[in-house]
Amino acid sequence: MRSERWFERLARASYSLVLVGLLPSIALRLLYRSLAQPAYRKAWSQRFLGRVPVRLLALGAGHAETSNSLGPRLWLHAVSVGETRAAAPLLRAWLARHPGARVMLTQTTPTGRQTAQTLFEDLLGSRVFLAYCPLDFPWAVHRFLSELRPDALVLMETELWPNLLAACRAHQVPVALVNARMSERALKRFRQFSWLAAPALGGLAAVLPQSQADAHRFQAAGAKRVLEASGSLKFDVQLDHHQIAVGQGWRSRWSHRQVWLAISTRDDEEEALLQAFAEQRPQGVLLIVVPRHPERFDRVDKMAAGYNLRRCRRSQLPDTLDQDMQLLLGDSLGEMQAFVAASDLCLIGGSLLPLGGQNPIEACAQGRPVFFGPHMFNFESLAQDLLDSGAGFRIASAQNFVREAYELGRSLPRLRSSGRAALDFVVARQGATQKTLDALDALMN
């Protein structure tokens, strides 16, 4: 046992030395990303030093008497937009169950932070507090925990950091990994670095996997406390009826027979999509493309210009669109549900190139059939279930998508049937929030 502990410390020390060596590169990367998103230049003391903003200190040791009387303190880390949206129903349910509780919600990306500000606008500064998560430097995570003193830490999906988990053990803060998922590819990486990953996974107080397959992979990777599969929190998506009304309003003023939406496209996979669309030029179709990262909006716009597509941007959207308009670039944040509401069917980004795909649930929740390419390995089980239910369609290439989407849109009975299947698919799988809530209460008790 002592030799195992010694080996774990040596492994983590080696990892920390490598991380410190990468510090200049990490800083330069943040500066580079700040050229497109200036918010990356902010809050470096939180990222690199683990300093907690003064207004958040009421959550921690600086006000121990007051904070103890208010109830439990939960730290939840949601990396970016998708994780933050998935966590929203869980956090609101947990706060409703514990009237005196507070949540410290951290993100890694500015877009995730902006999403949290929108979703929790009514609770910010009173029950929900926002900060950037410290990078996994030993001094940063220890300081963050020392100042906040949370009763538990909740991590979303796959966000596991060795120094953070070790610091939580030292501070006696139980850690739960919820909405947890692990692909076969990720399992291979965990096994490759088992000397570092296994101790981190073994220190988790609870793992709540999305599926039984995820549960088996976490156990194979070294997790010891894997609970029964709870399903995905993302199925409990909260529909924003205002956004949906906005999207429906757009559609009512457009003269196109079909509207297709490409969700969260990445890493220039738009090139193949725009080329296929320009070559086939389906009549009466408007293609909406929403890049996943805001810093790519201008790049995708220039890409579209090279294919001579008549286009406009959401930020300059006129009151009406005639059928000559072929492309709408979604260059706004927080309007995905409006774009879905304005569309007939959706293409899931990250699947045309080997990037692993993106989450299709938000589109299905509004009854939209989804298309995805051959690379959905981050959502492989979900993709297969969608295919089996008739709500999803796998395409081999962007050219296949344009042809098959056009044929589906021309058949109103088929379109409606696949849309109903998509909605039924989501409704049948809801309930993960309640299961996760009960597990968190058991953990904190």
Which residue type occupies 251?
A: R
Q: Which residues contact 279 (CB under 8 A, 6 or more apart)?
A: 399
Q: What is the pLDDT of residue 62?
A: 44
pLDDT, tens digit only, all 445 positions of the chain: 455 577 778 888 899 999 999 999 999 999 998 888 889 998 999 999 999 876 666 665 444 444 445 678 999 999 988 899 889 999 999 999 998 899 999 999 999 999 999 899 999 988 999 999 999 999 999 999 999 999 999 999 888 899 999 999 999 999 999 999 898 888 999 888 888 888 888 889 999 999 898 999 999 998 989 998 988 998 998 898 999 999 999 999 999 999 999 999 999 999 999 999 999 999 999 999 999 988 899 999 999 999 999 999 999 999 899 989 999 999 998 899 999 999 999 999 999 999 999 999 999 999 999 999 999 998 888 999 999 999 999 999 999 999 999 999 999 999 999 999 999 999 999 999 999 999 888 888 7
Rg of the chain over Cα atoms, rounded to whole angstroms, equals 23
77 forms beta bridges with 106, 155
What's the token pair of residue 158? 């796959």
Please give the Cα distance from 358 to 351 (Å, whole number). Answer: 7
Q: What is the pLDDT of residue 244?
A: 97
Q: What is the pLDDT of residue 57?
A: 62
Q: What is the pLDDT of residue 238?
A: 84
- With 0.85 as the threshold, say if the pTM is over it: no
Q: What is the pLDDT of residue 132?
A: 95
Q: Which of 386, 378, 389, 382 has the alpha carbon at shortest distance from 350?
A: 378
Q: Which of 4, 8, 83, 147 is catalytic?
A: 83
Give CA angle at 90 (205, 162), nearest 5°.
Answer: 35
Q: What are phi and psi of 194, to 5 degrees?
A: -60, -30
Q: What is the pLDDT of residue 55?
A: 67
8 is catalytic: no
Q: What is the pLDDT of residue 37?
A: 85
What order do you get walking across the sheet with 345-348 strand by strand? 311-313, 327-329, 285-291, 258-265, 345-348, 370-372, 392-394
Q: Which of 42, 41, 23 has the alpha carbon at shortest distance from 32?
A: 41
Domains of the chain with bracketed CATH: 2-232+432-444 (3.40.50.11720), 241-427 (3.40.50.2000)
| 186 alpha carbon, distance to own chain's centre | 17
